[in-house]
Amino acid sequence: MMHSSDSQWPEVSFEERMATAHFDVHPHAHIVVNSAVCADCTSRECVVACPANLFVPTSDGGVVFNYEQCFECGTCYLVCNQEGAISWSYPEGGHGIVFRRT
């Protein structure tokens, strides 16, 4: 499967990948996660599916999240199977992701 020129592909780190997108971060989070609900969740769809990798499982069985680099796509609340775990709205007008070459 791997192409012979694989070595020419220094796949960028996730931090570098996210650094290519511009965010005008608002001080208030537009994603709220109910950690009590997440503690009982085993499937953790949000952790896999979020394209910005904002949901991070913790060793004690919880999920921590960042909202700062959110693409505002809505994947997390749609894939989440746990009622009431993720409250999601748009950030305040003028804030959040600003695409340039999309």
Partner 1 sequence: MNSPIDIVVCLKLTARPGVADADERFAGVSPADQAALETALVLAEHSRGSVTAAAVGPVAAELALREALACGAHRAVRLDAPSALDSAEVARQLEGVVGDAAIVVCGDYSLDRGSGSVPAFLAHRLRCAQALGLVSVDHTGVVDRMLHVVRRLDGGRRELLTVPLPCVLSVEGSVARLRRAGLRDALAARTTNIDVRPSAPMAAHAATAVVTPYRPRARTMMSPGDPDPLARLRALTDATGSSTRGETVALEPGEAAERILRSLREWGYLD
Partner 2 sequence: MSDRTQHAANPDVDVDVIVVGAGPAGSCAAIALARAGFSVVLLERGPFPGSKNMYGGVVYPRILDELIPRWYDEAPVQRWITRRSTMVMTDTQAMSIDFRNDAWAAPPYNGATAYRPDFDHWLAGHAESAGAQLLCSTTATGLLRDRSGAVTGVTTDRPDGDLTARLVIACDGVNSFLAKDAGLYREVAAKHYTLGVKETIGLPKEVIDERFGVRGREGVDIEIIGCTSGVNGGGFVYTNLDTVAVGVVLKLPALAAQQLRPEQIIAKMKTHSAIAPLVEGGELKEYSAHLIPEAGLSMMPKLATAGLLVAGDAAALCLAAGIWLEGVNFAMASGMYAGQAAAEALRRGDTSEQGLAGYERRLTETFVLRDHRKLRRAPALVLSDRVQHRYPQMVAAVVERMFRVDNPDPKPGLRRILAQERKRAGVRRRDLARDGWAGLRTFG
Binding residues (CB under 8 A) for partner 2: these are 1-3, 5-6, 8-9, 11-12, 14, 16-18, 20-21, 24, 43, 45, 48-49, 51-53, 71-75, 78-79, 89-94, 96-102
The C-alpha angle 33, 39, 42, rounded to 5 degrees, equals 105
Cα 32 from Cα 67, distance rounded (Å): 9
Identify the helix (H) or strand (E) that includes residue 17.
helix 14-19
Number of H helices, E strands in the chain: 4, 6
Q: Report what 6 binds from partner 2, partner 1, none; CB cut-off 5-8 Å by kind.
A: partner 2
**6 vs 28, which CB is nearer to partner 1?**
28
Smallest distance from the beta carbon of 41 to partner 2, in angstroms? 12
